[in-house]
Amino acid sequence: MIGWVLKRILGTQNQREVRRLTPLVGEINRHEEALRALSFDELRGKTVAFRDRLAKGESLDQLLPEAFAVVKNCCRRFTEEKRRIRVRGQEILWEMIPFDVQLIGGMVLHSGRIAEMATGEGKTLVATLPTYLNALSAKGVHIVTVNDYLAARDADWMGEVYRELGLTVGCLQHGQTQAERRAQYACDITYGTSSEFGFDYLRDNGMATTPEDQVQRGHFYSIIDEVDSILIDEARTPLIISGPVTVSTHQFDKYKSIIEGLVRKQNTLCTDWANQAKERIEKGDLQGAGRLLYKVKLGSPRNKLLLKFQEDPGTRRAVDDAELEMYQDTRRTELYKTKEEMYFSIDERNSEADLSQMGRTFLNPNDPNFFSVPDLITTNHDIDSNAGLSPEEKLKAKAAAQADYEEASQRIHNISQLLRAYCVFEKDVHYVIQENKVVIVDEYTGRLMPGRRWSDGLHQAVEAREGVQIDRETQTLATITIQNYFRLYEKLAGMTGTAETEANEFKDIYRLGVVVIPTNRDCIRKDADDLIFKTRREKLNALIEEIKKRNAAGQPMLVGTASVESSEIISRMLRRENIPHSVLNAKQHQLEAEIVARAGERGAVMIATNMAGRGTDIKLSPGVAELGGLHVVGTERHESRRIDRQLRGRCARQGDPGSSQFFISFEDDLMRNFGDSRKIAGLMTKLGMEENEGLQHPWLNRSVETAQKRVEGRNYQVRKHTLQYDDVMNQQRTVIYAWRSDMLNSTDPRPEVFETVDERIASEVEARAGTDPVDLDGLVHWANSAMPVGLQKEDFQKAGGKEEWAKLLKAKVREAYEVKVKFENPEAVKALERFVVLGAIDRLWQEHLYAMDGLRTSINLRAYGQKDPLIEYKNEAYGMFGELMGRIKEEVVHNLFRSASSLSAFESFLSALPQRAGRGDLPMEAAAQPTEGSMSMQAEGGSTVVEEALAPMRRQGPKLGRNDPCPLDPTKKFKNCCGSTGSKGCLKVGG
Ligand code: ADP
Ligand code: MG
């Protein structure tokens, strides 16, 4: 009820907003009519005139109606002259003039909000309106696409309008050199993916050593296409540039065999319980069975017997009941006791692993405490209150306790990562082994992600489990989350077919409002109720029957899957039935775009993971509308309703006919982990479900949606959590990057260097003068060892108080420096001065990032105590940052005078440059998932290995050898499949 009322209010708010913008549409159209009388040259002249008016103080808002009209009129001219445009090697006939709803979409984008416009409404064209307007400012407009291919496509296609009107257009592509990138950013408009933009920012600010190394020129206005996919799905993946760690702390190989023993023990235990549960079921004691099976779930969530029992809704319900019972507050002790009956417990939802006393004793019978975290707080307290210890002894005792604590934490961390590797992660589901390496499978798209690694040691733990070589851990050199990158823009806007369900998050995190734009024509898509099956097998069989039926009638179908694995299963089944189809896995963007564009042809069957072919328009071919248009089948409900809506939205564009339906089963991950099976099983009994037959009812849809909302809520919390931690880092990064950038861009670095020196002197003087008695000896010692000032104690005594000491030092240090640089080449001196500061910032900042990583891990351990980890984290991070700033200053003072050593450091710094500030051959860059610990790219050392690590990530385009496996059907050679001339390649797979 409340929801309904809210919706009414939101709905009307939205309508009000659209209504508010509508009068402007009339104005734009009137201007456009007037423009028709102009010559094309006169139309082009408008750009210059607009820029003049801007310079004279008019605002972009004032120019909007006329500027939009110019774009619209340009489109009209293209359409009338039947202009053909070369887009990625193909000619496309221009035949679009923005509709009124598109003009409204453009205004929403200009106002810095998200325009929700359904698939096929022409968002690509919509973006040209605000882009042209904002590009008039010459500050650069960035348009973000989901992949490199779409960036290039849109720059070619929409670029025609901008270029015609006298603006310049650039496009970022992976592997471009620095000079190329700078040229793209210098354009009025730049297309590219979020990671290309983000990594350029990191390189510009974390690695560039001269202003010429920097490629971006500010963050004025950005429009993000498929904004939900970028800001929500990818928000969990910070961008990381990393290099190998110098010292590795892992002990996985050491603990591997003992953990294997432990896991074996636990499995025996759990299988015993599962068998006992079987007996109980036979005796009709479902409740007892449920309790036993719940224990199995805690101890070994992927136990085969357990999974089998859970196929039965009744048993499932019993397990859920047992779990619910345990989580009641009054039963907490019982839960704790239950956990103590096994060697360790696993929480699959949060993927955490916890040793019990039993487990600790198994691992080290003589000293079970070896595997528990010492209580540092109590220990420190005891030390403090021990009257028998001198202050110095107390310090020593505390340091020893701290060292113990760290060692134990390290040990436990290793063990728990190994347990996760053994019990939560499954080969061929979460990862595959390729060429003796553990390759991650992306949970969202099902793509293989060669070169990416889970962080925090998890990847190494899995390597240990699989017996492949354990690669070195990596260290973060620079990092930013996608969220924080986009917060840099003065104005941000986005467009997508699906933003409404996440409107709150957009508002909270990005302060982006969502406006739903009405479609140009009414949408007549028919969404059928979900079909629910008991098992995956039954579901797939029914699915194949459905495909067969519709295919026989000639209706085209798009089958959406959640993973590459399930795409392949369905493809195999279709092949057996001799149904021609193609499989798209979001690996070959351009090729797949070309193929998916044909999904609306008579008899076409496309199986696609959810990112495959995104952004490509599916048009119906003649005769298909009469068959009901494109039919979309979802083979699994996704964790998020938004992704399902996106899949559905791929059909019935622009008033076309179309329909959609989801096939789901109780064995799907969503249902297994988050479904309220009790309720669903109840419903199913009520509705009367037969074996082997799917059930369909609006009530069931609602239950599924409840499960989805639950996961959405949890994922939102995870993202918010990541952001809260990252905010701390973001503030620090802002300070450091601003300092770095000042240094980098300063034409005369010396005053700034001396400002730093002065601050250092002031704080040292302050500290030495603040003791009682005043530590003048210390000051003299520090001064002479840090700087060649040659001052004696008497000099200070003669000078007076602490103010005079600082003055004296500041004067002396300048004198000394003058002497030092007198005969040097002034330009070289400037470079050296810059280096002194940049080198210190970079070295210590990277160390700091490493320490902050460590802090993140240890804070989580601390959460076991009663403290709020975020507050602890903020406090410690603040302290560490203060120290960092002090140490950077100290290092600047130090290095300023070590000409010999600083020169050699300078040289090695320079020789490392191609690697530090290069392009594709940079250190490693990656995106990470904090939920699983972060992932990052890694390589063993120099840039050649880095090249190799990056190679698979490069978009290769369809440049394949004829004998290579076909990307769309790896069982065939390319020349016999897509690469074959004459036939339709992959479209014929299986036929
Ligand atoms: P979206 O990104 O919203 O899903 P696209 O930008 O891919 O949609 O456009 C979908 C199709 O609609 C494209 O084929 C495009 O040429 C066409 N289109 C867009 N705007 C218009 C228009 N005003 N008139 C005619 N066709 C249009
Ligand atoms: Mg699009």
Which atom belonging to ligand 1 lies closest to the Cα atom of 118?
Answer: 3
Å from CA of 775 to ligand 2 middle: 69
Residue nearest to atom 20 of ligand 1 (CA): 122
The predicted pLDDT at position 862 comes to 63
Q: What mean pLDDT do residues 747-754 have?
A: 90
| Ligand 1 pocket mutation pick from 160, 516, 617 by most atoms within 8 angstroms of CB | 617
The predicted pLDDT at position 3 comes to 52
Looking at per-residue pLDDT, the higher value among 659 and 990 belongs to 659
What is the rounded CA–CA span in Å between residue 635 and residue 652? 19
Q: pLDDT (tens digit, 9 = 90+) per residue, 561-589?
A: 988 888 989 999 999 999 999 998 877 78
**Which ligand places an atom closest to the C-alpha of 96?**
1
Residue 922: pLDDT band by 50, 70, 90 thresholds? very low
Task: Evaluate if residue 953 carries a pLDDT over 50.
Answer: no
634 SS3 class = strand
Residue 474: pLDDT band by 50, 70, 90 thresholds? low
Which atom belonging to ligand 1 lies closest to the Cα atom of 654?
Answer: 12
3-state DSSP percent of the chain in helix, strand and coil, to 5? 60, 10, 30
Task: Evaluate if residue 448 carries a pLDDT over 80.
Answer: no
Residue nearest to atom 27 of ligand 1 (CA): 96
**Which ligand places an atom closest to the C-alpha of 646?**
1
Residue 349: pLDDT band by 50, 70, 90 thresholds? low
Residue 712 CA to chain centroid, in angstroms?
A: 16
Most confident residue range from 332-341, 400-409, 430-439, 687-696: 430-439
Residue nearest to atom 23 of ligand 1 (CA): 98
Residue 268: pLDDT band by 50, 70, 90 thresholds? very high
Q: What mean pLDDT do residues 21-27 have?
A: 95
Most confident residue range from 525-539, 622-636, 712-726: 622-636
Residue nearest to atom 15 of ligand 1 (CA): 122
**Which ligand places an atom closest to the C-alpha of 144?**
2
Residue type, 866: Q
Name the DSSP letter for residue 529. Answer: P
Length of the chain as a residue count? 991
The predicted pLDDT at position 271 comes to 93
Å from CA of 837 to ligand 2 middle: 45
**Which ligand places an atom closest to the C-alpha of 655?**
1
Residue 127: pLDDT band by 50, 70, 90 thresholds? very high
Task: Evaluate if residue 125 carries a pLDDT over 90.
Answer: yes
Q: What mean pLDDT do residues 763-774 have?
A: 85
Å from CA of 120 to ligand 1 middle: 5
Q: What mean pLDDT do residues 496-502 have?
A: 88
What is the rounded CA–CA span in Å between residue 57 and residue 964? 60
| Ligand 1 pocket mutation pick from 68, 125, 131, 157 by most atoms within 8 angstroms of CB | 125
The predicted pLDDT at position 149 comes to 92
The predicted pLDDT at position 350 comes to 60
Å from CA of 97 to ligand 1 middle: 10
What is the rounded CA–CA span in Å between residue 189 and residue 167? 8
Residue 988: pLDDT band by 50, 70, 90 thresholds? very low
Q: Residue-wise over 495-530: b if at least 16 C-beta within 10 A, else e? A: bbbbbbbbbebbeebbebbbbbbbbbeebebebeeb
Task: Evaluate if residue 818 carries a pLDDT over 70.
Answer: yes
Å from CA of 784 to ligand 2 middle: 65
What is the rounded CA–CA span in Å between residue 24 and residue 64? 9
Residue 831: pLDDT band by 50, 70, 90 thresholds? confident
**Quick one: what percent of the chain has pLDDT higher than 90?**
36
Min mean pLDDT across 252-266, 385-399, 965-979 is at 965-979
Which atom belonging to ligand 1 lies closest to the Cα atom of 123?
Answer: 3
Most confident residue range from 317-326, 648-657, 908-917: 648-657
Q: Residue-wise over 132-152: b if at least 16 C-beta within 10 A, else e? A: bbbbbeeebbbbbbbbbbbbb
The predicted pLDDT at position 224 comes to 97
What is the rounded CA–CA span in Å between residue 769 and residue 383? 31
The predicted pLDDT at position 236 comes to 63
Residue nearest to atom 21 of ligand 1 (CA): 96
Sign of the CA dihedral running 978, 981, 987, 991: negative
The predicted pLDDT at position 981 comes to 35
DSSP characters over 805-869: HHHHHHHHHHHHHHHHHTTS-HHHHHHHHHHHHHHHHHHHHHHHHHHHHHHHHHHHHHTTTTS-H
| Ligand 1 pocket mutation pick from 32, 100, 124 by most atoms within 8 angstroms of CB | 124
Contact yes or no for 530/662 (Cβ under 8 A)? yes
Sign of the CA dihedral running 561, 566, 568, 570: negative
Residue nearest to atom 17 of ligand 1 (CA): 122
Q: How many CA atoms lie within 13 A of 919 on its CB side?
A: 13
Residue in the structure block whose two tokens are 């309008």: 161
Q: What contacts 24+ positions apart, CB below 8 Å, involve 211-214?
A: 211/744, 211/745, 213/178, 213/917, 214/182, 214/744
Q: pLDDT (tens digit, 9 = 90+) per residue, 368-384?
A: 778 777 776 678 778 88
Å from CA of 654 to ligand 1 middle: 9
What is the rounded CA–CA span in Å between residue 715 and residue 502? 12
Q: What mean pLDDT do residues 823-828 have?
A: 80
DSSP characters over 71-136: HHHHHHHHHHTT-EEEETTEEEE------HHHHHHHHHHHTT-EEE--TTS-HHHHHHHHHHHHHT
Residue nearest to atom 2 of ligand 1 (CA): 123
Paired sense of beta strands 90-93 and 84-87, if any: antiparallel
Min mean pLDDT across 232-246, 425-439, 781-795, 799-813 is at 232-246
The predicted pLDDT at position 333 comes to 78
Å from CA of 164 to ligand 1 middle: 20
Task: Evaluate if residue 989 carries a pLDDT over 60.
Answer: no
557 SS3 class = strand
Residue nearest to atom 12 of ligand 1 (CA): 122
Residues 6+ apart with CB under 8 A from 752: 742, 743, 746, 837
Q: pLDDT (tens digit, 9 = 90+) per residue, 5-20?
A: 555 555 678 888 899 9
192 SS3 class = strand
What is the rounded CA–CA span in Å between residue 495 and residue 226? 6
The predicted pLDDT at position 698 comes to 82
The predicted pLDDT at position 458 comes to 84
Q: What mean pLDDT do residues 432-458 have?
A: 76
Residue nearest to atom 19 of ligand 1 (CA): 122
Which atom belonging to ligand 1 lies closest to the Cα atom of 121?
Answer: 3
Å from CA of 172 to ligand 1 middle: 23
Å from CA of 144 to ligand 2 middle: 11
DSSP characters over 345-403: EEETTTTEEEE-HHHHHHH-TT-GGGGS---HHHHHHHHHT-TTS-HHHHHHHHHHHHH
The predicted pLDDT at position 66 comes to 97
Q: pLDDT (tens digit, 9 = 90+) per residue, 50-75?
A: 999 999 999 999 999 999 999 999 99
Q: pLDDT (tens digit, 9 = 90+) per residue, 79-113?
A: 999 999 999 988 999 999 999 999 999 999 999 99
Q: What mean pLDDT do residues 789-800 have?
A: 83
What is the rounded CA–CA span in Å between residue 653 and residue 525? 9
**Which ligand places an atom closest to the C-alpha of 117?**
1
E strand or H helix at 417, and its extent? helix 391-423
The predicted pLDDT at position 921 comes to 31
Task: Evaluate if residue 403 carries a pLDDT over 80.
Answer: no
Å from CA of 583 to ligand 2 middle: 21
Task: Evaluate if residue 177 carries a pLDDT over 50.
Answer: yes
Å from CA of 646 to ligand 2 middle: 11
Å from CA of 617 to ligand 1 middle: 7
Q: Taking the chain, what is the end-to-end CA distance rounded to the nearest angstrom?
A: 52
| Ligand 1 pocket mutation pick from 29, 121, 161, 618 by most atoms within 8 angstroms of CB | 121
The predicted pLDDT at position 1 comes to 46
Contact yes or no for 411/251 (Cβ under 8 A)? yes
Å from CA of 126 to ligand 1 middle: 9
Task: Evaluate if residue 990 carries a pLDDT over 70.
Answer: no
What does the block give as tokens for 234?
């990818």
What does the block give as tokens for 226?
């498929």
Q: List phi, psi (to 5°) of 433.
A: -100, 120
Task: Evaluate if residue 673 carries a pLDDT over 80.
Answer: no
Residue 979: pLDDT band by 50, 70, 90 thresholds? very low
The torsion region of residue 603 among left (phi > 0), alpha (psi -120 to 50) and beta comes to left
Paired sense of beta strands 924-927 and 239-244, if any: antiparallel
* DSSP-assigned beta bridge partners for residue 85: 92
Q: What mean pLDDT do residues 544-560 have?
A: 95
Residue 248: pLDDT band by 50, 70, 90 thresholds? low
Q: What mean pLDDT do residues 757-773 have?
A: 87
Which atom belonging to ligand 1 lies closest to the Cα atom of 119?
Answer: 4
Residue nearest to atom 6 of ligand 1 (CA): 122
Most confident residue range from 11-25, 140-154, 886-900, 962-976: 140-154
Residue type, 668: D
Q: pLDDT (tens digit, 9 = 90+) per residue, 806-817?
A: 999 999 889 888
Residue nearest to atom 18 of ligand 1 (CA): 122
Average pLDDT score over the chain: 82
Å from CA of 124 to ligand 1 middle: 7
Residue nearest to atom 26 of ligand 1 (CA): 96
* DSSP-assigned beta bridge partners for residue 91: 86
Q: How many CA atoms lie within 13 A of 280 on its CB side?
A: 18
Looking at per-residue pLDDT, the higher value among 831 and 921 belongs to 831
927 SS3 class = strand
Min mean pLDDT across 351-360, 539-548, 950-959 is at 950-959
**Which ligand places an atom closest to the C-alpha of 653?**
1
The predicted pLDDT at position 913 comes to 38
Which atom belonging to ligand 1 lies closest to the Cα atom of 124?
Answer: 6
Q: What mean pLDDT do residues 392-410 have?
A: 78
Residues with CB under 6 A from ligand 1: 96-99, 102, 117, 119-125, 617
Å from CA of 21 to ligand 1 middle: 21
Sheet of strand 491-496: strand arrangement:
169-171, 189-193, 141-145, 221-225, 491-496, 114-116, 514-516
The predicted pLDDT at position 601 comes to 94
Residues 6+ apart with CB under 8 A from 612: 445, 584, 585, 586, 592, 596
Residue nearest to atom 24 of ligand 1 (CA): 96
Task: Evaluate if residue 176 carries a pLDDT over 90.
Answer: yes
What is the rounded CA–CA span in Å between residue 883 and residue 309? 57
Å from CA of 595 to ligand 2 middle: 16
Looking at per-residue pLDDT, the higher value among 269 and 477 belongs to 269
Most confident residue range from 340-354, 381-395, 438-452, 973-987: 381-395
The predicted pLDDT at position 891 comes to 85
The predicted pLDDT at position 609 comes to 86
Which atom belonging to ligand 1 lies closest to the Cα atom of 619?
Answer: 14
Q: What mean pLDDT do residues 247-257 have?
A: 77
The predicted pLDDT at position 97 comes to 97
* DSSP-assigned beta bridge partners for residue 346: 353
Which atom belonging to ligand 1 lies closest to the Cα atom of 98?
Answer: 23
